[in-house]
């Protein structure tokens, strides 16, 4: 097992959900507790990343260190920067606070794939669900990915340039893109990458969790 820090990104404002999705109860447990439990099976350290001191107060009862953004207002990019800066280990595994289907074996695989790279992310193509067109769109999954502290200079450059997307710093780093074929032995249905942003996604997650627990 490679020594890693798990980063639980809880910097979002849950605007589409209308309430803090980290504490939505799934099987009588908050989503964020399920995420933490999965990370702790793989990582030597787990940190929660919140957007500011007021937001951090919500997570103090979870028994983990909570770090806040040094660059507030830039979304997940700022959260990743804060997490990498605070991490005790060079390699981190970054996930969202609303990803209840994480699989420890796949997280461990990402850590292994990171040898010799600044970051490891899944890149794949699929029909665009927003347009309904059959033409495939390229998707990159920056949350459920591995990042090293060597990403920090490129991250800061991207933030100072006014960029907000995690992938904006990828051209300046040594990034390994894994494929669906790499993921398939661990998670052929990509359940690990599913998160909860809307009430519709929350209903789907509850249905999947209920089916899994039977």
Q: Where does the pLDDT of residue 20 fall: very low under 50, low under 70, confident under 90, or very high at 90 and above?
A: confident
Number of domains comprising the chain: 1
Contacts of 147 (CB under 8 A, 6+ apart): 80, 84, 91, 92, 94, 118, 119
Domain of 53, CATH number, reads 3.90.550.10
Q: 177: which strand partners?
A: 121
The C-alpha angle with vertex 28 and arms to 108 and 41, in degrees rounded to 5, equals 15
Q: Which of 103-112, 118-127, 185-194 has the lowest mean pLDDT?
A: 118-127
pLDDT (average), residues 34-50: 96
pLDDT band at 214 (very low <50, low <70, confident <90, very high): very low
DSSP lists the bridge partners of residue 176 as 120
Give the pTM: 0.91
Strand partners, 4: 91
The pLDDT tens digits of the residues spanning 51-76 come to 876 678 889 899 999 999 888 888 88
pLDDT at 114: 97
The predicted structure's pLDDT at residue 109 = 97
For 54-114, strand residue ranges (E) read: 66-68, 91-96
Question: What does pLDDT average to over the chain?
Answer: 89
d(CA 53, CA 55): 5
The answer on pLDDT for 99 being more than 60 is yes
H or E segment and range at residue 111: helix 104-113
pLDDT in tens, 155-208: 999 999 999 899 999 999 999 999 999 999 999 999 999 998 888 888 898 998
Range of the structural domain that residue 132 is part of: 4-212
Q: Is the pLDDT of residue 18 over 90?
A: no
Model confidence at 136, pLDDT cuts 50, 70, 90, reads confident
Q: What percentage of residues in the chain have a pLDDT greater than 90? A: 64
Span 107-133, average pLDDT: 87
- Close Cβ partners of 13 (under 8 Å, ≥ 6 residues apart): 51
**In terms of pLDDT, which residue wins out, 186 or 1?**
186
Bigger pLDDT: 146 vs 50: 146
Question: To the nearest 10°, the Cα dihedral for 152, 89, 43, 85?
Answer: -40
């Amino acid at each position: 097992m490679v020594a890693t820090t798990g980063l639980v990104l809880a910097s979002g404002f849950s605007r589409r959900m209308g309430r803090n999705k980290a504490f939505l109860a799934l099987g009588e447990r908050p989503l964020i507790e399920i995420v933490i439990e999965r990370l702790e099976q793989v990582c030597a350290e787990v940190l929660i990343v919140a957007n500011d001191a007021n937001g951090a107060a919500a997570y103090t009862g979870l028994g983990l260190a909570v770090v806040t953004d040094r660059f507030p207002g830039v979304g997940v990019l700022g959260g990743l920067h804060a997490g990498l800066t605070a991490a005790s280990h060079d390699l981190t595994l970054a996930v969202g606070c609303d990803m209840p289907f994480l699989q420890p074996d796949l997280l461990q695989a990402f850590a292994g794939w990171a040898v010799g790279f600044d970051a490891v992310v899944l890149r794949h193509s699929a029909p665009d669900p927003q347009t309904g067109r059959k033409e495939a769109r390229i998707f990159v999954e920056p949350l459920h990915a591995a990042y090293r502290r060597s990403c920090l200079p490129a991250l800061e450059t991207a933030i100072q340039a006014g960029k907000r997307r995690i992938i904006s710093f990828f051209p300046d780093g040594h990034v390994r893109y894994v494929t669906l074929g790499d993921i398939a032995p661990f998670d052929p249905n990509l359940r690990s990458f599913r998160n909860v942003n809307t009430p519709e996604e929350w209903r789907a997650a509850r249905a999947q969790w209920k089916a899994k627990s039977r």
